[in-house]
C-alpha cells in the first residue's frame, strides 16, 4: 500500500504524465521543464498554444488538472484578462488510470479551455494590432515635427525640431492622436482652429 507524501505524489505525477499525453491522442506531449527544481506540476502541450497543467493536489496522491493561459502574452508581455471561472479545473482521484484521466480531460476540461483560449488569442491579436497602429501613428507624428517617438505612443514636443522649447505633447492610440498643446496666443489659436476646421471639411 502506497504511503502518500509529496514525494510519492510527485513520482506518480511523473509516471502518469506521458501516459495521459498518449491517451489524449496524436500531438500531445509532456513538456520538459528546464527548471529541475519544479516537480509539483507537469504540463502537457498540443500544437502551438494548448497547455494542460497537472498539479500535485492535496490530499496527496490526487492530481489537479486545468488549462494554462499564463504562457500567452501580447507584445507588451501581458496576458489578456479572462474569467478564471470560465477555465475548467478538475481533480483526479488516486484510483483513476491514465486513460480515465485523459477521458476526463477531453470531456470536462478541453471544451471550456479551448473556448477561453480562443478568446484570449483573439484579444492578443487585437492588442498587438492596436500596438502596431499606435507605433506607426506616433512615428508619423514625430516625423512631422522632427522628434523621436517615445514610449506607449507619446511624442514630446520639447527639443523637437519644430517646437524645441515647448512642453506640449501628442498621445497616440491606434490611428488617433490627442494633442496636449502648449500655451497659444489668440492669433495662434485661431489659425490652428481654422486649419483643423478645414481638415475636417467644415
Identify the CATH number of the domain in which residue 66 sits: 3.30.1460
Residue carrying the nine cell digits 509529496: 6
Question: Could you tell me if residue 180 is inside a domain?
Answer: yes
- The per-residue pLDDT for 34 is 65
Residue 136, domain extent: 128-199
Upstream peptide bond of 59 is cis (omega within 30 degrees of 0): yes
- Looking at residue 36, what is its pLDDT? 53
Q: Is the pLDDT of residue 184 over 90?
A: no
C-alpha distance across the termini of the chain, in Å = 85
- Please compute the mean of the pLDDT values over residues 163-169 and round it to a whole number: 88
pLDDT at position 140 is 96
Residues 16 and 97 in one domain: yes
60 and 39 in a common domain: yes
Q: Which of 126, 159, 177 is the last residue of a domain?
A: 126
CA distances for 107 relative to 41, 94, 111, angstroms: 21, 19, 7
Q: Are residues 182 and 160 both part of a single domain?
A: yes
Name which residue leads in pLDDT, 191 or 167. Answer: 191
Q: What angle do CA 26, 29, 30 make, to 5 degrees?
A: 160
Same domain, 51 and 84: yes
Query: At a CB cut-off of 8 Å and minimum separation 6, what does 34 contact?
Result: none
Instruction: Say if residue 53 is in the same domain as residue 77.
Output: yes
Residue 202: predicted pLDDT: 64
What is the mean pLDDT of the segment spanning 71-99?
A: 92
pLDDT at 29 over 70: yes
Calculate mean pLDDT across residues 33-49: 81
Cα-to-chain-centroid distance, residue 166: 38
pLDDT bin (cut points 50, 70, 90) of residue 20 is very high
> Does residue 47 form part of some domain?
yes
Higher local confidence (pLDDT), 64 or 165? 64
The sheet carrying 62-67 orders its strands as 28-30, 41-46, 50-57, 62-67, 89-92
This prediction has a pTM of: 0.83
- Quick one: what percent of the chain has pLDDT higher than 90? 71
Contact 119, 111 (CB under 8 A): no
Section 68-78 average pLDDT: 93
Q: Are residues 142 and 89 in the same domain?
A: no
In this structure, is residue 1 part of a structural domain?
no
Amino acid at each position: 500500500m502506497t504511503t502518500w507524501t509529496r514525494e510519492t505524489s510527485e513520482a506518480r505525477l511523473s509516471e502518469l504524465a506521458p501516459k495521459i499525453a498518449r491517451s489524449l491522442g496524436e500531438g500531445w506531449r509532456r513538456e520538459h521543464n528546464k527548471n529541475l527544481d519544479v516537480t509539483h506540476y507537469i504540463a502537457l502541450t498540443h500544437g502551438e498554444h494548448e497547455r494542460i497543467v497537472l498539479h500535485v493536489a492535496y490530499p496527496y496522491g490526487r492530481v489537479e488538472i486545468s488549462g494554462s493561459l499564463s504562457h500567452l502574452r501580447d507584445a507588451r508581455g501581458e496576458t489578456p484578462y479572462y474569467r478564471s471561472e470560465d477555465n475548467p479545473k478538475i481533480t483526479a482521484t488516486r484510483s483513476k488510470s491514465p486513460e480515465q484521466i485523459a477521458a476526463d480531460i477531453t470531456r470536462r476540461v478541453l471544451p471550456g479551455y479551448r473556448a477561453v483560449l480562443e478568446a484570449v488569442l483573439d484579444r492578443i491579436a487585437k492588442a498587438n494590432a492596436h500596438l502596431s497602429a499606435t507605433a506607426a501613428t506616433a512615428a508619423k507624428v514625430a516625423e512631422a515635427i522632427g522628434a523621436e517617438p517615445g514610449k506607449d505612443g507619446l511624442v514630446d514636443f520639447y527639443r523637437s525640431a519644430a517646437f524645441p522649447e515647448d512642453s506640449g505633447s501628442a498621445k497616440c492610440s491606434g490611428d488617433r492622436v490627442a494633442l496636449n498643446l502648449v500655451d497659444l496666443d489668440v492669433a495662434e489659436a485661431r489659425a490652428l482652429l481654422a486649419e483643423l476646421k478645414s481638415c475636417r471639411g467644415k
